[in-house]
């Protein structure tokens, strides 16, 4: 066991939680991420292997697979981001490699992103100040890429007007957090 | 002062009196008032001074088209100039000031301009202030700006915040008058996702300003019940106080919602305004129509107003500018004003109707075939001079004059995609025509359908068509359906100082002058006279100007045409466009994993792109940055230093064709790079110029990690993705950025290996034999944490770059510092990094400046001739390979005390100093602790053949001329022995 200590994307020892107006903004530092991109000509095999890994077919464009222990978000043609609990799956990338073998290129992405979970009634009003998504029409499992505060982010709908997950670039976690919190205070 | 001009009735809340101040005097109004209505109720007609002549002005309108009653709202840092008193919602404690006057509104010294009006006609400035040229900026412009202008900014930072946001709907309805409300009811009841936006704080449009009924209810009550029903529908969003400012591409509309303008100050954290971008499938424009004035001499006195505005003030706000009012009209609508005012107890001096056959009235006097030809009154109207049908003249005593010249449909938003309106003869006005913005329909008065009944019918029909509703349509409520009965009448013949554009002081005479001088196209007319260029964008003036120009040119009005309508529909504060992007949040910031640690060390940061990088780490006793930087360099070269290089771009390149792909992207060979090795790579643009440099490390047969410079990370990734998708679609390559996934540190100096041996787990041998220069490997550190190690050097020392998952970056940095104590380890910042790379002669951003080739940088041989690669062919074109091409060299001052300046140019030791004899330029310069003097890197003509030559370095900007010697760019360890140690 190594002796280095992890910090969260926001730089704290513990994940930060903010509450305002019935909405909770929670930094989620317990998310392991791994990108999967099918090798050329291996698209079908990759999808089959992923189905085996995820227990369900990988999500279609604009969709996420909300499941445990592994979830997935469509990122591009034959590309997905796989997610899992970090504590239990710190070596998620290796797990993916073991299953996908030469059918896909796998890259560890756990620390490339910051994850914020926004929950509570009223998040639609917060989201409309942040990004150009018709959030009122999003259904559970809808996922899309958008720009928030000039940052490329993924937005995954867990439950309409109740739960949304935002993945943004880790180095800009502070700026993204500021934008989310400001929008909460403004909208609610 | 009591509200002596307050009438009975109205839609104001008399239970909520509001105190406010205008030009230092306190007044009282009521909830539901605008600033203008409250001032009129208090018998204040004078609210501003005109732009050029400083003539006294009062409100012309009761809406957002107002040209005259322009004031500064609020005080201190919240002062907002150029706001319309006619739309400013009254609140308790509101403070407003008139503007563009000195010393006071009633006595304005600059009104002297009015006496010289003959000299200040259109084109005066252009013709007069031409000479001498140098006087313009220093003398003429400041004087003119002081004399003519609108409100002044506070000069302080706006303490309020503004938001930006996005909304989506099936149907956007713009305007909540009878047509908009009917359309919203139709669509809302059908279950459509509707947004109804209106610029007013009370929805209802003209229904709130008129007295006629809908199905036995007053128009205002019908509107209120419609709004109540719409509020109860979950699929309808009502946006009062929201102006749709523009129709943009693909069904996107700009909207400004005034969240806090009606409050003393915004609630905590709440914005003053929000700029919305509304994306909609369908739009119904129900923007209504604007009444137009008639031009006659001195038609700009306070008290001369649009007749419909008088109705609005009386019926909605229970206010009147005077107790005795005359009307000047060319249509039946003017008579409606007379009737309404009379019903409110206002005395009608007369209705002056230009039509010889105008209907007479038993309630008030109608002067048929007559015209108002002039007015009197110092700071407000007292008399109107009327020329009767028989040619005789008569004076009417009146405190206000309602003018009605017909109605102009508000076609603006239909034209924002370059559509041109069409002319409709019966109302003598432009109506929507041509191609409308995608998905837009128009209803109500904006189509030229000017009755309430027509508004309801067209509103309903537009909504049904937009939503594709089938079946029998329900009947609309009964409402007035009076035909338009008007005879076009634009201006009184013989008028010279009859105002068209009251805000910009453009008169009938100015239009005539424009025609006389050949500026006859509407666009030229606009620029020559400034007609329609004020904050109101000519909403009440453009048509008059066009009509007069048409008459002068012997053309019809539609032949003359209109100017282009552009967003925004009404003025928008710059802060609203800025939103939250201001100050430190102007753009997002990127922080490295060791940022907090660096802050603890007192690091001085510099912005590199969006990154904040430590420049240097001051130690106690160091008073100058050079002391810190020199120490960091010396300490690193003497022992060991650590630098956070997380910011370098990292791109994961995988796939069976990864090597072939990189071989194509890089100018030098990558295909045969062995696993476990790193190679320096040069990337060219298609035109043969260097794009970026970096390293490619082959971790596995089909897995590379490419590094880029910090500044070019995004650009290189984009370029590689383009190559992958468009140039090599048949290649099995997958790319993904991992820049932020890994915290990466350069550990440099002769003791770097010793330090790392304390970090790297023992089963990884990093000795020189096992892990030589340019080696790379996946390793573990600190007892099992996955990491990557690269033996690469930017400083020229024995050096490594070590990477761990970002969350452990902070901890690793602390560990390196702790474990390095015995070696006297120092963190070093970007300045020391820069010094060491200059000492080593490594090219960086200053040299890769978008104009240099591999040949210039002394790296010509890296461009492989044995393979096809991007940019290689064009790098061989003759222009880039001249005999005297620039080459990278080092510079050393002959006098070690002298300073080398980056950007300075090189000249021969003797001979002329001019551009024609330029020999090259300095790209980088620094004080070198190793050389104990300043040194530089330069691009010098045939530089590689001129080592030892003495040149003059000149910098006219810094007044520098020194002698320098051309030397090798490699000041430190030219043979590279240290980095291979």
CATH of the domain at A75: 3.30.70.1400
DSSP lists the bridge partners of residue A73 as A64, A81
Residues A46 and A61 in one domain: yes
B745 and B841 fall within a common domain = no
Q: Domain range holding A101?
A: 31-110
Do B800 and B683 belong together in one domain? yes
B390 and B414 share a domain? no
- The whole-angstrom distance between A133's CA and the closest CA on chain B is 7
- For the domain that residue B431 is a member of, what is the CATH number? 3.50.50.60
Residue B116 has pLDDT above 90, yes or no: no
pLDDT at residue A76 in the model = 95
Q: What is the reported pLDDT for B343?
A: 96
Write out chain B residues lying below 8 Å of A40, CB-based: 655-657, 730-733
Could you say which of A11, A108, A186 has the minimum Cβ distance to residue B596?
A: A11
Q: Which two tokens stand for residue B545?
A: 């100007």
Interchain CB distance below 8 Å, B741 and A5:
no
Report the residue of chain A nearest B782, measured CA to CA. Answer: A2
Instruction: Judge whether A56 lies within some domain.
Output: yes
Residues B210 and B73 in one domain: no
Q: Select the residue of A39, A112, A171 nearest B655 (Cβ to Cβ).
A: A39
Q: How far is B763 from chain A (nearest CA, A)?
A: 14
Same domain, A95 and A123: no
**Cβ B78 vs Cβ B154: under 8 Å:** yes
Global confidence as pTM: 0.93
Chain A contact set for B269 (CB, 8 A) = 182, 185-186
Mean pLDDT within B314-326: 98
Residues A100, A150, single domain; the answer is no
For residue B810, give the nearest of A7, A35, A133 by CB distance: A7
A127 and A96 within one domain: no
Q: B247 pLDDT exceeds 90?
A: yes
Domain final residue, candidates A80, A110, A140: A110
Q: Which of A3, A39, A170 sits opposite B740 (nearest CB)?
A: A170
Which chain A residues are closer than 8 Å to B165 by Cβ?
128-130
**Contacts (Cβ under 8 Å, ≥6 apart) of B274:** A129, B162, B163, B164, B165, B256, B257, B259, B576
Identify the pLDDT of residue B423.
95
The answer on B874 and B854 residing in a single domain is yes
Q: Can you give the pLDDT at residue B128?
A: 63
Alpha-carbon distance A80 to nearest alpha carbon in chain B (angstroms) = 12
Å between B752 CA and nearest CA of chain A = 20
Identify the CATH number of the domain in which residue B41 sits. 3.10.20.440
Name the percent of chain B lying above pLDDT 70. 96
Name the residue among B596, B732, B739 with its Cβ closest to that of A40.
Answer: B732
B651 plus B752 within the same structural domain: yes
Q: CATH no. for residue B684?
A: 3.30.1360.120
Same domain, B538 and B675: no
Lowest mean pLDDT among A19-23, A29-33, B594-598, B606-610: B606-610
Digit-coded pLDDT (tens) for B207-238: 999 998 999 999 999 999 999 999 999 999 99
From A88, A110, A132, the end of a domain falls on A110
How many residue contacts between A and B have a Cβ separation below 8 Å?
A: 151
State the complex-level ipTM. Answer: 0.97
User: Can you give B373-432 as a three-state secondary structure string?
Assistant: EEEECCCCCCEEEEECCCCCEEEEECCEEEEECCEEECCHHHHCCCCCCEEEHHHCEEEC
Q: Tell me the per-residue pLDDT of B902-936, one tens digit each, with 9 for 90 and over.
A: 999 999 999 899 999 999 999 999 999 999 999 99
- Shortest alpha-carbon distance between residue B664 and chain A (Å): 18
Q: Is the pLDDT of residue B137 over 60?
A: yes
Q: Binning pLDDT at 50, 70 and 90, where does residue B131 land?
A: low
Residues A159 and A177 grouped into a single domain: yes
- Domain count within chain A: 2
Average pLDDT over residues B559-576: 92
Residues of B in contact with A182 (CB under 8 A): 269, 580
Q: Where are the beta strands (DSSP E) in A149-188?
A: 151-159, 163-169
Tell me which of B257, B741, B758, B761 to substitute to probe the interface with A (most A C-beta atoms closer than 10 Å).
Answer: B741
pLDDT at residue B472, rounded to an integer: 86
B241 and B98 inside one domain: no
Neighbour-count burial of A87, counting CB atoms closer than 10 A to its CB (0-12 exposed, 13-18 middle, 19+ buried): exposed
Which chain B residue has its CA at the smallest distance from A93's CA?
B786
Residues B449, B396 within the same domain: no
Nearest chain B Cα distance for residue A148, angstroms? 10
Note the pLDDT of residue B484. 87
Residue A53 placed within a domain: yes
- Whether B298 maps to a domain, the answer reads no
Q: Which of B780, B800, B834 is the last residue of a domain?
A: B834
**Quick check: B61 and B43 in contact, CB under 8 A?**
no
Select from A35, A175, A182 the Cβ nearest to the Cβ of B736.
A35
- When CB atoms are compared, the residue of A40, A112, A182 closest to B580 is A182
Domain-terminating residue out of A110, A140, A167: A110
Q: What is the mean pLDDT of residues B640-660?
A: 97
Q: What is the mean pLDDT of residues B421-437?
A: 94
Spatial distance between the Cα atoms of B92 and A20, rounded to a whole number of angstroms:
29
Which residues on A lie below 8 Å from B612 (Cβ)?
A: none
CB atoms within 10 A of CB B112: 11
DSSP B725-780: III-TTS--EEEE-TTTEEEEEEESTTHHHHHHTTB-TTS--STTTS-TTBEEEEE
Asked if B587's CB is within 8 angstroms of A171's CB, the reply is no
Task: Search chain A and give the residue with CA nearest B270.
Answer: A186
The CA-CA-CA angle for residues B758, B762, B766, to 5°, reads: 75
Read off the CATH number of the domain in which B890 is found. Answer: 2.40.30.110
- Cβ within 8 Å, pair A108-B738: yes
Closest CA to A75 of A178, A167, A183: A167
Cα–Cα dist B670/B659, whole Å? 6
Crossing angle between the packed helical segments B307-315 and B332-343, to the nearest 10 degrees: 30
For residue B673, what are the domain limits? 641-834
- B865-881 pLDDT tens trace: 999 999 999 999 999 99
Contacts of B785 in chain A (CB under 8 A): 2, 4
Q: B115 pLDDT exceeds 70?
A: no
Cross-chain Cβ contact A6/B811 below 8 Å? yes
Instruction: With respect to residue A6, please indicate whether it lies within any of the assigned structural domains.
Output: no
Tell me, yes or no, whether A156 lies in a domain.
yes
Cβ pair B740, B651 in contact under 8 A: no
Q: How confident is the model at residue B496 (pLDDT cuts 50, 70, 90)?
A: confident
Asked if residue A125 and residue A59 are part of one domain, the reply reads no
Task: Check whether residue B389 and residue B436 sit in a common domain.
Answer: no
Rounded average pLDDT over B412-423: 93
Q: Is residue A58 part of a domain?
A: yes
Q: Does the pLDDT value for residue B1 go beyond 60?
A: no
Residue at which a domain ends, from B357, B388, B405 = B405
- Answer yes or no: do B31 and B81 share one domain: yes
CA-based nearest distance B717→chain A, Å: 14
**Which residue on chain B is closest to A91 by alpha carbon?**
B786
In a domain, B581, yes or no: no
Query: Which chain A residues touch B588 with a CB distance below 8 Å?
Result: 149-151, 172, 175-176
Q: Are residues B102 and B213 in the same domain?
A: no
- Mean per-residue pLDDT over chain B, rounded: 94
Instruction: Answer yes or no: do B805 and A136 touch at CB < 8 A.
Output: no
The confidence score (pLDDT) of residue B119 equals: 60
Mean pLDDT of B730-757: 98
pLDDT of B135:
72
Burial of B471 (0-12, 13-18, 19+ CB in 10 A): exposed
Distance CA B958, CA B8 (A): 76
Write out chain B residues lying below 8 Å of A2, CB-based. 780-785
Q: Which residue of B has its CA nearest to A11?
A: B596
CB contact under 8 A, A4 and B163: no
Residues in A touching B277 (Cβ below 8 Å):
132
Q: Is A95 domain-assigned?
A: yes
Domain total for chain B? 6
Does residue B132 register a pLDDT over 90?
no
Of A7, A37, A108, the CB nearest to B741: A108
**pLDDT 10s per residue in chain A (188 long)?**
899 999 999 999 999 999 999 999 999 999 999 999 999 999 999 999 999 999 999 999 999 999 999 999 999 999 999 999 999 999 999 999 999 999 999 999 999 999 999 999 999 999 999 999 999 999 999 999 999 999 999 999 999 989 999 999 999 999 999 999 999 999 99
């Amino acid at each position: 066991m190594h002796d280095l200590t992890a910090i969260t994307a926001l730089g704290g020892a513990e994940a930060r939680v903010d509450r305002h107006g019935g909405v909770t903004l929670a930094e989620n530092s317990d998310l392991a991420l791994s990108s999967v991109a099918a090798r050329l000509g291996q698209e079908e095999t990759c999808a089959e292997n992923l189905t085996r890994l995820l227990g369900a077919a990988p999500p279609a464009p604009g969709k996420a697979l909300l499941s445990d222990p592994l979830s997935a978000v469509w990122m591009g043609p034959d590309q997905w981001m796989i997610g899992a609990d970090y504590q239990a799956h710190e070596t998620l990338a290796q797990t993916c490699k073991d299953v996908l073998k030469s059918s896909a290129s796998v890259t560890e992405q756990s620390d490339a992103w910051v994850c914020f979970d926004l929950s509570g009634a009223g998040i639609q009003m917060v989201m409309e100040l942040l990004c150009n998504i018709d959030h009122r029409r999003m259904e559970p499992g809808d996922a899309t890429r958008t720009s928030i505060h000039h940052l490329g982010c993924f937005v995954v709908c867990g439950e309409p007007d109740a739960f949304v997950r935002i993945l943004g670039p880790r180095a800009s976690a502070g700026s993204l957090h500021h934008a989310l919190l400001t929008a909460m205070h403004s909208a609610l | 002062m009591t509200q002596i001009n307050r009438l009975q009735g109205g839609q104001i809340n008399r239970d909520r009196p509001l105190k406010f101040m205008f030009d230092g005097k306190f007044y009282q109004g009521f909830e539901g008032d605008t600033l203008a209505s409250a001032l009129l109720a208090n018998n204040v007609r004078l609210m501003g001074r005109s732009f050029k002549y400083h003539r006294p002005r009062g409100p012309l309108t009761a809406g957002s088209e107002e040209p005259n009653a322009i004031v500064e709202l609020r005080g201190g840092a919240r002062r907002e100039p150029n706001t319309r008193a006619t739309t400013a919602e009254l609140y308790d404690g509101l403070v407003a000031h008139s503007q563009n006057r000195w010393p006071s509104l009633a006595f304005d010294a600059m009104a002297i301009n009015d006496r010289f009006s003959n000299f200040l006609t259109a084109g005066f400035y252009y013709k007069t202030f031409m000479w001498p040229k140098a006087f313009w900026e220093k003398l003429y412009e400041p004087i003119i700006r002081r004399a003519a202008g609108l409100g002044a900014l506070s000069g302080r930072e706006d303490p309020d915040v503004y938001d930006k946001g996005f909304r989506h709907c099936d149907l956007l309805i713009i305007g909540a008058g009878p047509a908009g409300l009917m359309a919203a009811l139709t669509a809302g009841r059908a279950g459509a996702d509707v947004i109804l936006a209106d610029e007013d704080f009370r929805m209802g449009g003209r229904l709130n300003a008129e007295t006629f009924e809908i199905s036995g209810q007053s128009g205002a009550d019908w509107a209120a019940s419609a709004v109540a029903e719409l509020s109860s529908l979950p699929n309808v969003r009502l946006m009062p106080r929201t102006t749709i400012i523009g129709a943009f591409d693909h069904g996107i509309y700009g909207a400004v919602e005034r969240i806090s303008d009606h409050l003393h100050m915004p609630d905590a954290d709440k914005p003053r305004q929000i700029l919305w971008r509304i994306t909609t499938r369908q739009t119904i424009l129900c923007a209504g129509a604007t009444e137009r004035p008639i031009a006659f001499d001195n038609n700009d006195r306070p008290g001369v107003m649009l007749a419909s505005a008088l109705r609005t003030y009386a019926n909605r706000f229970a206010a009147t500018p005077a107790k005795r009012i005359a009307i000047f009209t060319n249509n039946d609508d003017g008579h409606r004003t007379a009737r309404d005012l009379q019903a409110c107890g206002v005395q009608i001096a007369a209705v002056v109707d230009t039509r010889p056959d105008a209907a007479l009235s038993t309630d008030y006097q109608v002067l048929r075939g007559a015209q108002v030809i002039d007015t009197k009154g110092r700071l407000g109207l007292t008399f109107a001079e009327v020329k009767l049908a028989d040619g005789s003249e008569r004076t009417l005593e009146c405190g206000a004059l309602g003018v009605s010249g017909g109605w102009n449909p508000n076609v603006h938003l239909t034209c924002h995609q370059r559509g041109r309106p069409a002319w409709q003869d019966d109302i003598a006005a432009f109506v929507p025509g041509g191609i409308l913005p995608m998905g837009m329909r128009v209803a109500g008065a904006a189509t030229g359908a000017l009755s309430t009944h027509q508004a309801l019918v067209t509103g309903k029909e537009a909504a049904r068509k937009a939503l594709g509703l089938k079946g029998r349509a329900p009947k609309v409520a009964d409402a007035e359906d009076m035909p338009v009965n008007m005879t076009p009448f634009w201006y009184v013949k013989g008028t010279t100082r009859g105002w068209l554009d009251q805000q910009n002081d453009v008169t009938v005479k100015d239009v005539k002058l424009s025609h006389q001088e050949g500026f006859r196209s509407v666009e030229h007319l606009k620029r020559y006279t400034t007609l329609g260029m004020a904050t109101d964008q000519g909403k009440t003036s453009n048509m008059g100007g066009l009509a007069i120009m048409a008459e002068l040119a012997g053309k019809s009005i539609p032949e003359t045409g209109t100017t282009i309508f552009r967003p925004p529909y009404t003025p928008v504060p710059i802060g609203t466009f800025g939103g939250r992007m201001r100050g430190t949040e102007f753009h997002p910031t990127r922080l490295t994993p060791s940022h907090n640690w660096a802050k603890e060390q007192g690091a001085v940061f510099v912005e590199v792109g969006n990154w904040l990088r430590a420049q240097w780490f001051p130690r106690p006793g160091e008073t100058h940055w050079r002391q810190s930087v020199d120490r960091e360099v010396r300490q690193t070269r003497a022992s060991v230093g650590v630098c956070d290089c997380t910011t370098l771009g990292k791109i994961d390149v995988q796939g069976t064709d990864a090597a072939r792909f990189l071989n194509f992207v890089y100018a030098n060979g990558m295909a045969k790079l062995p696993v476990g090795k790193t190679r320096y790579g040069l990337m060219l643009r298609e035109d043969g110029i260097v794009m970026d440099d970096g390293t490619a490390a082959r971790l596995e047969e089909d897995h590379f990690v490419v590094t880029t410079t910090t500044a070019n990370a995004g650009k290189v990734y984009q370029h590689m993705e383009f190559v992958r998708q468009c140039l090599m679609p048949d290649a099995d390559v997958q790319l993904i950025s991992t820049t932020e996934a890994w915290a990466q540190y350069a550990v440099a100096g002769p003791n770097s290996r010793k330090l790392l041996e304390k970090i790297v787990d023992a089963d990884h041998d990093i000795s020189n034999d096992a892990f030589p220069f340019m080696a790379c490997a996946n390793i573990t550190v600190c007892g099992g944490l996955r990491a990557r190690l690269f033996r690469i050097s930017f400083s020229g020392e024995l050096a490594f770059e070590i990477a761990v998952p970002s969350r452990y970056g902070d901890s690793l940095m602390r560990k390196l510092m702790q474990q390095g104590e015995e070696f006297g380890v120092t963190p070093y910042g970007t300045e020391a990094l820069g010094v060491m790379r200059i000492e080593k002669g490594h090219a960086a951003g200053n040299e890769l400046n978008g104009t240099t080739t591999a040949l210039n940088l002394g790296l010509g041989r890296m461009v492989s001739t044995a393979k096809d690669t991007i940019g290689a062919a064009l790098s061989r074109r003759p222009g880039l390979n001249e005999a005297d091409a620039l080459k990278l060299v080092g510079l050393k001052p002959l006098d070690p005390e002298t300073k080398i300046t980056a950007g300075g140019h090189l000249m021969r030791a003797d001979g002329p100093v001019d551009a024609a004899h330029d020999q090259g330029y300095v790209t980088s310069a620094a004080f070198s602790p190793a050389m104990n003097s300043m040194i530089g890197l330069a691009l010098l003509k045939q530089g590689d053949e001129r080592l030892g030559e003495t040149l003059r370095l000149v910098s006219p900007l810094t007044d520098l001329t020194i002698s320098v010697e051309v030397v090798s760019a490699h000041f430190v360890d030219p043979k590279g022995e240290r980095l291979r140690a």
